Structure 1
Amino acid sequence: MSCLSTCSRRRFVMRGGAAALAVIGAPALAQSAPTRIRYQLDWRFEAGTAAHVLALRKGYFAEEGLDVSLNVGAGAAATVTRLASGNFDMGTGDLSSLAEFAGNNGTSPALAVMALYETTPAAVISLKKSAIARPADLKGKVLAAPANDGARRIFPLFANANGLDAQSDVKWMSVEPAIRETLLARGQVDAITGYVASGFVSLQRLGVSPDDISMMRFADFGVPLYGNAVLASKPFLQEKPAAVAAYLRALTRGYRDAAADRAGAVAALKAHEPLVDEKIEALRLDVILDQEIGTPKVRKAGIGGIDAARYQRGIDALAAALAFKSVPQASALIDMRHLPAASARRIFPS
């Protein structure tokens, strides 16, 4: 995904100030000089990044003794390579892309420290007039997506699970993220791949009725993968594990606030990024919280956990579908020691 033109001017925005360090009762980490964290978001400032923005603007990062800069992103898959560059300490990245990097490079630049999407939000999105209701209906169709789109990257897994040939049964058009939904709305392509919330809301913004949108969620068609997670670069995790734990505590508070006061979360986004369309982001936040993050498991057990055995099954399937050079071990790609307590991770009101 690419950013709006204004994002380049807002590449690094608002750091948590050190003033809050004097707050009585702040965690022990806040008693020393603030720790800088360069955080790579997966996308621009919209509903999907609201929890980070809330943690920043409400001072949660500062209370934890952190000096955080939030950098707009180009997609969850791109975060992995950006962490590999050494220019960022933590970021929101796709767990499948993390496994792919490790499988093709023999190592990973980061470890997953907190799952954000317990199931992948990837989907094939079409208009109902195209009569694409099941995977077999995609044969001979033209799909559009950016080359580094996370859903497009794992499409071969969706194809394998549903009797499709990912190479010959569909045709791909590589496009910029900004025009993906536009091409679909205009009927210039048959379908697109993307994340549920982004596609669903972007099409409505273009005037497409929700009743005219058809979605095949990968998770409903034999693709039991995790989605995005908070990643921490290996050097940063080794040198400053307390800061990683502090970031996760603050972020979890941001998610809890977003779930409890959705209008407030959208208002915070608007204050942070004036170009935000509040009506659109309210719709997007509802989809993210209710359909992407708020699975029955997360509502019961809390956000964040990654089961190594389940992740390994996904990695094995990805390695076969995408022809990894080697099959990485899930246990070598995750570190769950820095999560907040389970009770603190129950972000949805009971």
Structure 2
Amino acid sequence: MGSLSSFSPRRRSLALGGLAALVGAPAWSQRTPVKVRFQCDWRFEAGTIPYVVALRKGYFADEGLDVTLNVGAGASATVTRLASGNFDMGTGDMNSLAEFAGNNGLVPAKAVMLMYESTPAAIFSLRKTGISKPADLRGRTLAAPANDGARRIFPAFALANGLDPANDVAWTSVDPAMRETMLARGQAEVISGYMASGWVSLQRLGVDPKDIAVMKYAEHGVKLPGNAILARPGFIDEQPEAVAAFLRAVTRGLKDAHTDRAGAVAVLKGHEPLVDTRIEAMRLGVVLDGEIATPTVRRQGIGDIDLARYQEGIDALAKFLSFKTTPDAATLVDTRFLPPLAQRKVFSA
């Protein structure tokens, strides 16, 4: 099979459709496996389970792929790492992707499969501080890593709730591994982060969930997407079949994680022995039930991207983050490689 990038648009579309419809290992996978350097957005925790399952259960190998999973430093950092050319694909924040493109005049990666329909970003505090609504953040100092996705898009949360993001709050940069610990110990009064990280990690540290105050961005007027599987444009052009194969394998991994959650956590434990299975089971529930399996995904399947909605979010980001230029959403998205709808309907409607 020749490279899909050498086909006419119609032939390329037909070829991709044929690729997606195949069951089991495609013929091209009998060649030397294609190496895929994949950048995770975070540590090997529940959020990475679909990829870990696909690796450990041989789904990538079935598709003719030799995948290396790399620990991440945040969904925003994935974008810059893909831009460096050191990775081929990764899980990254779609808002950070737009910001990079808007400020650098180039497309470092394209979103090929949406994982979180809405941003999982949130603000966390302890109820004893009296912080329960956005207005309570005035005069407070928030702690987060410098490249934290929730911190980067905080202006969207602020402006949607009558706050001045530049003057009403202050920020202090902290190590990702210490963020929740500092809040639990009273060394920070407010933190930003993703639900699967902040909500679960605070409980792992012994904080009673009744004592945690949470403000989810998506429930406070922020209509931005979250993480997607991204691929470098060069890798898409050179290995289009591999991109489609990767998404098929991950979709299988996601289905396994949904249908056998205890088994999926056990696979994670085999990959990263230091994880706490009780905590990761809890975290997996947050990821699957609270972030991925939205009503839209239950009806329409995982992965597709609403370009109009994404453009609306980009336009808002460009305004309050002062992008040099405003990217066209269509230039940042390429969903030709998604598996067939029947395969993507992982969750019951």
TM-score class, shorter-chain normalisation, is over 0.9
Give the C-alpha shift of residue 31 in structure 1.
2.2
Q: Tell me, in whole angstroms, the C-alpha distance in 2 between the residues paired with 1:132 and 1:345.
A: 40
Matches within 5 A, 1:92-111: 92-111=91-110
TM-score by length of 1: 0.92
Partner-residue secondary structure (3-state), 1:340: coil
Is residue 65 of structure 2 the alignment partner of residue 66 of structure 1?
yes
Which amino acid letter does the alignment assign opposite residue 306 of structure 2?
D
Alpha-carbon separation, structure 2, partners of 1:174 and 1:300 = 40
Deviation at 1:299, TM superposition (A): 1.3
CA distance in 1 between counterparts of 2:288 and 2:148 reads 21
The residue aligned with 2:283 is: 284
Q: Distance in 2 between matches of 1:299 and 1:148?
A: 31
1:91 equivalent in alignment to 2:90: yes
C-alpha separation between the residues in 2 aligned to 1:37 and 1:239? 12
Q: CA deviation at 1:141?
A: 1.1
Deviation beyond 6 Å, 4+ runs, structure 1: none
What amino acid sits opposite 1:344 in the alignment? Q
Match of 2:45 in 1: 46
**Is 1:130 equivalent to 2:142 in the alignment?**
no
Structure 2: give runs of 5+ residues left out of the alignment. Answer: 1-22
Deviations 1:188-236 (A, max 9, x none): 2221000011001110011000111111110111111100000000100
Taking the aligned partners of 2:26 and 2:213, their CA distance within structure 1 comes to 47
| 2:4 alignment counterpart | none
Q: 1:121 touches 1:227 (CA, 8 Å); kept in 2? A: yes
Letter of the aligned partner of 1:29 in structure 2?
A: W
Q: Note if contact 1:145-1:177 (Cα within 8 Å) is conserved in structure 2.
A: yes
Establish whether residue 258 from structure 1 lines up as the match of residue 257 from structure 2.
yes
Instruction: Report the secondary structure of 2:299's partner residue.
Output: helix
SS class of match (2:336):
helix
Q: Is the 8 A contact 1:260 1:349 kept in 2?
A: no
Distance 1:25 1:152 in 2: 42
Gaps of 5+ in 1: 1-23
Aligned residue for 2:25, secondary structure, equals coil
SS in 2 for 1:67: strand
| Alignment partner, residue 321 of structure 2 | 322
**Match of 1:273?**
272
Q: Does the Cα contact within 8 Å between 1:142 and 1:173 map onto a contact in 2?
A: yes
Instruction: Describe the shift of the 1:25–1:320 C-alpha distance in structure 2 as closer, same or farther (beyond 3 A).
Output: closer
Under a length normalisation based on structure 2, what TM-score does the superposition of the two structures give?
0.92
Q: Structure 1 residue 349: deviation in Å?
A: 4.5
Q: Residue 144 of structure 1 contacts residue 175 of structure 1 at CA under 8 Å; is this kept in 2? A: yes
Q: Secondary structure at the match of 2:117?
A: coil
1:273 & 1:44 partners in 2: Cα distance? 9
CA contact (8 A) 2:24 2:62 kept: no
- In the TM superposition, 1:1-350 aligns within 5 A as 26-349=25-348
Q: CA deviation at 1:182?
A: 1.1
Inter-partner Cα distance in structure 2 for 1:209 and 1:73: 28
- Mean Cα deviation higher: 124-133 or 43-52: 124-133
Q: CA deviation at 1:25?
A: 5.1
Contact 2:24 / 2:63 at 8 angstroms: preserved in 1? no
